[in-house]
Amino acid sequence: MKSDIILAGVGGQGILSIAAVIGYAALNRNLNLKQAEVHGMSQRGGAVQSNLRISDEEISSDLIQSGMADLIISVEPMESLRYLPWLSKNGWLVTNSKPYNNIPDYPDIESVYSEIKKLPNHIIIDADGIASEMKSRKSSNIVVLGAAIPFLPFEWDDYEFGINKLFGRKGEEIVRTNLEALKAGMEFCKTINK
Amino acid sequence: MKNKLLLGDEALAQGVLDAGLSGCYAYPGTPSTEIMEYIQNSKLAIERNVHRSWSTNEKTAMEAALGMSYAGKRAMVSMKHVGLNVASDAFINSAITGVNGGLIVIVADDPSMHSSQNEQDSRFYGKFALVPIFEPSNQQEAYDMAYEAFDLSEKYQVPVMIRITTRLAHSRSGVQTKSVREMNKSRLPGDMRQFILLPAIARKRYKGLLSNQEHFTSESENSHYNHIIEGSNKDLGIIACGLANNYLHESLKRTSLDYPILKISQYPVPVNMIRKFASSCKKLLILEEGYPIVEESLTGLLNMEYKVSGRLDGSLPLDGELNSDHVSRALGIELPASREVPSLVANRPPTLCPGCGHTDVFLALNKALATYGKGRVFSDIGCYTLGALDPLNAIDTCVDMGASVTMAVGAADAGLIPAVAMIGDSTFTHSGMTGLLDAVVKNSPITLIISDNATTAMTGGQNSAGTGSLEKICLGLGVDREHLIMMTPLRKNHDKNIDIMKKELEYNGVSVIIAQRECVQTAARDKRIAAALKLKKVANT
């Protein structure tokens, strides 16, 4: 078993939180893990990504080879496309639909969606909308993670472990909201997944 | 033995802590910052009262660590690669003085320049200083090497370098830790002349360092970090250094290629091991994360018939960090099919945060300078370097820590008047103060703007040495009180700030404008921490 995942977004959108939840889930399963993060300059509103590799065998490289990623999880639609060279032929792309527009030449959003829809395996989720409905805007990254659950090698209790580990010190309320956000993303995926 | 999920940086920090570290000295710099931050938050470090506050720059850090070693304790200094340029005087000479308590110098290089001005390879510095170097290939080795390096350092009374690169520094994996060792008791050096580098003593010390080279090499020959993996196909032998090993194994996984491999993670290079390995193969491919330092030493000037390939002959790119794609290509392994990035995907460079004080400084400065024309703003290393990008286009240089001040002085000497230096508070105390003294001494016609956000922001908001005392520092250096102006960079002060700047630009001497407003990131962080504390208090009552 191996799962190579690229997390994508803009600095400050919370992809390291997604990485941490998946990381703890992998620990809970006793799986090997390597997780390469971006720190430093790019965190200031620039494009950021994280390479997450999970396997029951020893993992060599911290980076995923091009064409070998099983999954791209993106909290921003244009950013999801930046890492297509790494996505494997049958890999899945799961992305938030809400654009983060902090550049002057952001492309027409409909063209972005149609590029995403050219892929055989993709999920576009209005994570910001779902999170707002739940009155928890900050959890939109966790909603996106929820939508990726069908493509990840974990059980629900692994995620519970991860969310508790990551948000536990912020109080029960925050843990509960994030678990709900995760569930909402997962439910959305069920409704559209054939 | 505990299994912890650690960044490469954190594994190094845990390793030195478990090995009995008494003091960590550092100045923040990507990708090395997390080493000190981990120690600052470590329960063990707090219990043991390990020194763990930031230094003003890498040179003061290196010297303080050497001082702790002089007093017999185990000390570590960590920095990014260009930080070693700043600390190099102390570093090179520490190899001549040697150490008393173990001394580890951790340097984090940044190939591909993710967050740096260059991609210099610190192994050159290690070789230059004639000290042993460890180059971990994964998080576990980072921990183990940090744990063992003090012993090597104390055995030969020499500082030991550990060199990592961005990818390992910022990648997380499981690490098995070892038992925690006692800290050294303080004791003076056995030879009280050891640290006095008068020529007569330095010559002796240098001979000692030279004669130790064969011992260092023999340590490398016998190191468990350097070893040969046998292979049946001797048409090619592969030497993989440090992190390159991972990319090699990743590439080979998808193939049935069975070449012999020599892994090198401890230097000086294990000469006999390489000779034996090379003689058993028809040719060599050298994989290095960084400059082709091993490859160059094997190729030599004479370019013998024995074929050595790597970055120098174009088998691998000469610049940038390695990855499995590069290594696969060098080995003739077909890459998996992959897609292109759609052309509509636009670049998204980093930007100054919404509401950042630097932005207000730049907006005012652009207006104040409008009548003088472009090309007179010398800037520096920090978040404000982003002022170079659209739409601000407000600065013209960024070279090294502190260069804004002194380059403005030089340009003014050449007749570019007024010249403006724009620097952050932490960079100013790091290396800008001495340049300001130069300017004051000759009353150079420059306007220095210190954009003071009261933190070292770009690396994540670490303490800044000059917070609260910049005004006093400038006065102490001799800046005229009349031309030391404070301003608050807010939109509502825009017009007022333009007027202040215009006035000082007209002055034919040294002006310093301190533009003071807290970093929006640290302000938000402090607010979160205060709210959490309040929540805790409520829960306790």
pLDDT of residue A3: 97
E strand segments, B396-502: 419-424, 446-452, 484-487
Which tokens belong to B263? Answer: 């892994």
- CA B246 – CA B256 distance, rounded (Å): 17
Determine the distance from the C-alpha atom of residue B328 to the mean position of all C-alpha atoms in its chain, rounded to a whole number: 29
pLDDT of residue A193: 56
Give yes or no for B525 touching A (CB within 8 A). Answer: no
- In this model, does residue B539 exceed pLDDT 80? no
Nearest residue of B to residue A112 by CA position?
B344
Answer yes or no: do A44 and B168 touch at CB < 8 A: no
Determine the distance from the C-alpha atom of residue A154 to the mean position of all C-alpha atoms in its chain, rounded to a whole number: 14
Contact A75, A138 (CB under 8 A): no
Residues B291 and B152 in one domain: no
In a domain, B535, yes or no: no
pLDDT of residue A169: 86
In a domain, B13, yes or no: yes
Q: Which residues pair with B446 in a beta bridge?
A: B419
- The shortest C-alpha distance from B183 to chain A (Å) reads 32
Residues B269 and B150 in one domain: no
- In this model, does residue A112 exceed pLDDT 70? yes
Give the tens place of pLDDT for each residue, B380-401: 999 999 999 989 999 999 999 9
Contact B65, B16 (CB under 8 A): no
Contacts with A51 from chain B: Cβ below 8 Å: 171
pLDDT of residue B97: 98
Residues B232 and B374 in one domain: no
**Confidence class of residue B254 from pLDDT cuts 50, 70 and 90?**
confident
Give the tens place of pLDDT for each residue, B455-466: 999 999 999 999
In a domain, B191, yes or no: no
Answer yes or no: do B172 and A35 touch at CB < 8 A: yes
What DSSP line would sit under B131-199, residue for residue?
--EE--SSHHHHHHHHHHHHHHHHHHT--EEEEEEHHHHTEEEEEE--PPPPPPPP---SSTTTT---H
Give yes or no for A59 touching B (CB within 8 A). Answer: yes
Residues B295 and B361 in one domain: no
- CA B518 – CA B502 distance, rounded (Å): 24
The proportion of chain B whose per-residue pLDDT surpasses 90, expressed as a percent, equals: 93
Containing H/E element for A26? helix A15-28
Domain coordinates in residue numbering, chain A: 2-192
- In this model, does residue A43 exceed pLDDT 80? no
- CA A7 – CA A51 distance, rounded (Å): 6
- In this model, does residue B535 exceed pLDDT 80? no
Interface mutation target, options B348, B521, B533, B535, chain A, most CBs of A under 10 Å? B348
In a domain, B481, yes or no: yes
Interface mutation target, options B113, B138, B166, B172, chain A, most CBs of A under 10 Å? B172
Determine the distance from the C-alpha atom of residue A141 to the mean position of all C-alpha atoms in its chain, rounded to a whole number: 7
Q: What is the mean pLDDT of residues B420-427?
A: 98
Omega within 30 of 0 (cis) for the link into B391: yes
Residues B268 and B366 in one domain: no
Residues B71 and B205 in one domain: yes
- In this model, does residue A107 exceed pLDDT 60? yes
Q: Percent helix, strand and coil across chain A, each rounded to 5?
A: 50, 20, 30
Residues 80-109 of B with CB under 8 A from A: none
Assign a CATH topology to domain A2-192: Pyruvate-ferredoxin Oxidoreductase; domain 3 (3.40.920)
Give the tens place of pLDDT for each residue, B173-223: 999 999 999 999 999 999 999 999 999 999 999 999 999 999 999 999 999
Contacts with B168 from chain A: Cβ below 8 Å: 62
Give yes or no for A154 touching B (CB within 8 A). Answer: no
Q: Which amino acid type is present at position B434? A: T
Give yes or no for A134 touching B (CB within 8 A). Answer: no
Which residue range(s) make up the domain with B243?
Answer: 227-330
Answer yes or no: do A82 and B341 touch at CB < 8 A: yes
pLDDT of residue A194: 47
Residues B289 and B401 in one domain: no
What is the number of domains present in chain B? 3
Contact A149, A185 (CB under 8 A): yes
Residues 160-199 of B with CB under 8 A from A: 167-168, 170-174
Residues B457 and B496 in one domain: yes
pLDDT of residue B529: 86
Q: What is the mean pLDDT of residues B458-481?
A: 96
In a domain, B350, yes or no: no
Give the tens place of pLDDT for each residue, B85-100: 999 999 999 999 999 9
pLDDT of residue B440: 98
Q: CATH code at B67?
A: 3.40.50.970
Give the tens place of pLDDT for each residue, B227-238: 999 999 999 999
Residues B161 and B24 in one domain: yes
Give the tens place of pLDDT for each residue, B287-343: 999 999 999 999 987 767 899 999 999 999 999 999 999 999 999 999 989 999 999
pLDDT of residue A92: 97
Answer yes or no: do A67 and B391 touch at CB < 8 A: no
